[in-house]
Structure formats: C-alpha cells, structure tokens
Amino acid sequence: MGFRIGLGFLVLVSLCCTVKPQCSKSCDALASYYVWQGTNLSFIGDIMNTTDATIVTYNKDSVPNINSVRFGIRVNVPFTCGCINSDFHGQMFEWDVRTGDTYDQIAKIFYSNLTTVEDLEWFNSYDPNNILNNAKVNVTVNCTCGNSTVSEDYGLFITYPLRPEDSLDSIAETEQLDQALLQRYNPGVNFSQGSGFVYIPGKGLSFCC
Ligand SMILES: *[C@@H]1O[C@H](CO)[C@@H](O)[C@H](O)[C@H]1NC(C)=O
Ligand SMILES: *[C@@H]1O[C@H](CO)[C@@H](O)[C@H](O)[C@H]1NC(C)=O
Ligand SMILES: *[C@@H]1O[C@H](CO)[C@@H](O)[C@H](O)[C@H]1NC(C)=O
Ligand SMILES: *[C@@H]1O[C@H](CO)[C@@H](O)[C@H](O)[C@H]1NC(C)=O
Ligand SMILES: *[C@@H]1O[C@H](CO)[C@@H](O)[C@H](O)[C@H]1NC(C)=O
Ligand SMILES: *[C@@H]1O[C@H](CO)[C@@H](O)[C@H](O)[C@H]1NC(C)=O
Ligand SMILES: *[C@@H]1O[C@H](CO)[C@@H](O)[C@H](O)[C@H]1NC(C)=O
C-alpha cells in the first residue's frame, strides 16, 4: 500500500517537474531596435545597458561608425537572455523616468516596441497615470534560447518587433532563412500582423560552439 502511494507521489512529482523548467539556462540574445527619428546609438546603448561602440560591432554592414546611424533602419542590440521570475526568458532593463513620461511612450518610442504597455503595467507598481519623476521603471524584453524540437543549429535569437512593412517573405529574404523554419520558431504567428514580435534565428552570429 505504502509502496503504491509512494509510486503515485513519484509520478506526480515527475509530472510537475517536466512541465516546470521554462527557463533553466540563460544565453546571449539580440534585440532588433527600429531606429526612430531623433534617436542615436548612445541613447539606445544607455537604455539597453550596453554602449554605442558595442552596438556598432554587431551592425558593421548597416552602421559603419557610432555617428552614422540612419533613422528607419534596425540595429541588433546584444543583451543577456536570462530568466524573469523563474518563469520565462527575458531581460529586465531600467528606464529612468523624466517629467511627463508615460508607459505608452516608454514602450512604443523609447524601447521601440521591444516591450508593451501591458508588460510595463504588470512589472511596475506605479499608478500608470502618474509615474513619479526620477523613478525607475522595470522594462522587460522577451527572448528565447531556442527550441531543440525545431532545430539544434541555432543558438542566438533576435527578438524582432513586427512592423507593418514586414512579412514572412520579407524577413526570410532579408535574413536568408527558410520560411518554414522561421514559422516553426513562431508557431501560429502571422508575420504580416504589423505588431507583436517574432524570434529570428541569428545566422553566423553566434560566438559560442
Ligand atoms: C541622442 O538621443 C537622445 C534621445 O533622443 C537625445 O536626448 C540626445 O540628446 C541625443 N544625443 C546626441 C549626441 O545627439
Ligand atoms: C548591465 O551590464 C552589466 C555589465 O555588462 C552587468 O553586470 C549588469 O548585470 C547588467 N544589468 C542588467 C540589468 O542587464
Ligand atoms: C510601435 O508600434 C506602434 C503601433 O503599435 C507604432 O505607432 C509606433 O510607431 C511603433 N514604434 C516604433 C518606434 O516604430
Ligand atoms: C513575454 O512573455 C511573458 C510570458 O510568456 C508574457 O506574459 C508577456 O506578455 C510577454 N511580453 C511581451 C511583450 O509579449
Ligand atoms: C521592479 O522589479 C523589481 C524586481 O522584480 C521589484 O522589486 C520592484 O518593486 C519593481 N519596481 C516597481 C516600481 O514595481
Ligand atoms: C518547441 O517547438 C515545438 C514545435 O514547434 C512546439 O510544439 C513547442 O511548444 C516549442 N517549445 C517551446 C518551449 O517553445
Ligand atoms: C495576417 O495579417 C494581415 C494583416 O492584419 C492580414 O491581412 C492577413 O489576412 C493575415 N493572414 C492570415 C493568414 O490570417
């Protein structure tokens, strides 16, 4: 009898623990930042906890030097894809609030849609209509370390906010990737939806392995 109960318990434990490990490891990741008019690499570096010089090294083709970033392009910004609340892969950045900042501006302009207003409301205890001056706002950016069911060939992923001009076709073409592979990493996502984000495997970008 005791043996049976013990066995049942073991089965329960193993069931619970095979569902659990959502993010056990961390990895390098990239954020695709759409450069809006009026911003520059030092600003992007500041808010993404890196430097303008580092960003240049990841974007040699499109950004020859720190002063030559053009508005309307995307730059890949490196960050560490860690674990948020032991629950999902992401990184938490800090935004220093200036007078009049709103979650809407922080998500849609300053972080170029790498985060959302909903996430800002979720991860910060402030009254959304009255964020205190000089406060720090938690900004989460989601990421992935891959999915061995899909492929073992990729170890570095770009968190890529979709814009109205994007499609599965255009992204596959630009990134030189197979459309079916891109879709498998983003099951059910409509690449033409104009908002939200997808994960794009980085080709030849990985430093490790
Ligand atoms: C860089 O952009 C930020 C944000 O728009 C701005 O405050 C800052 O003055 C700019 N710096 C330079 C050197 O243009
Ligand atoms: C910012 O970068 C520093 C040095 O690279 C690192 O030690 C720190 O953990 C990073 N902080 C965040 C919030 O990513
Ligand atoms: C972010 O998305 C909104 C629409 O959801 C758009 O109006 C805004 O221009 C986007 N921000 C950037 C920097 O592209
Ligand atoms: C990031 O992932 C978490 C957990 O899946 C989710 O709750 C959150 O809404 C996601 N953030 C964005 C910006 O999609
Ligand atoms: C930001 O996140 C940290 C760690 O999760 C938390 O302790 C802090 O209260 C959050 N800040 C706000 C304003 O909610
Ligand atoms: C990995 O990919 C498979 C097949 O597309 C999918 O069923 C599964 O949910 C994915 N796992 C994660 C953690 O995204
Ligand atoms: C994907 O989204 C676009 C833009 O909203 C829409 O026109 C198209 O019909 C959608 N495709 C599918 C398969 O739902």
Q: What is the pLDDT of residues 119-141, one digit of tens each?
A: 999 999 999 888 888 899 999 99
On the question of pLDDT at 71 being above 70, the answer is yes
Residue 4 is predicted with a pLDDT of 54
Ligand nearest to the CA of 41: 1
**Cα-to-centroid distance, 155 and ligand 7 (Å):** 29
Distance (Å) from CA 44 to ligand 1 centroid = 9
* DSSP output for the chain: -HHHHHHHHHHHHHHHHHH--S----EEEEEEEE--TT--HHHHHHHTTS-HHHHHHH-TTT-SSTT-PPTT-EEEEEEEEEEETTTEEEEEEEEE--TT--HHHIIIIITTTSS-HHHHHHH--S-TT-PPTT-EEEEEEE-----TTT-SS---EEEEE--TT--HHHHHHHHT--HHHHHHHSTT--TTSSSSEEEEEPSS-----
43, 47, 95, best to mutate for ligand 1 pocket (most atoms within 8 Å of CB): 43
Ligand 5 center to 123 CA (angstroms):
7
Percent of the chain with pLDDT over 90: 73
Q: Ligand 5 centre and the CA of 83: distance in Å?
A: 15
- The average pLDDT across 20-33 equals 84
Each residue of 164-200: pLDDT tens digit? 999 999 999 999 999 999 999 999 999 999 999 999 9
Nearest ligand to residue 92 Cα: 2
Q: What is the per-residue pLDDT for 15? A: 43
User: What's the confidence (pLDDT) of residue 40?
Assistant: 95
Q: What pLDDT is stored for residue 208 in this prediction?
A: 37
**At the fourth CATH level, which superfamily is domain 157-201?**
LysM domain (3.10.350.10)
- Interval 61-81 mean pLDDT: 92
> What integer pLDDT is reported at residue 23 of this predicted model?
78
Q: Where in the chain is the domain with CATH 3.10.350.10?
A: 157-201
**pLDDT score of 67:** 85
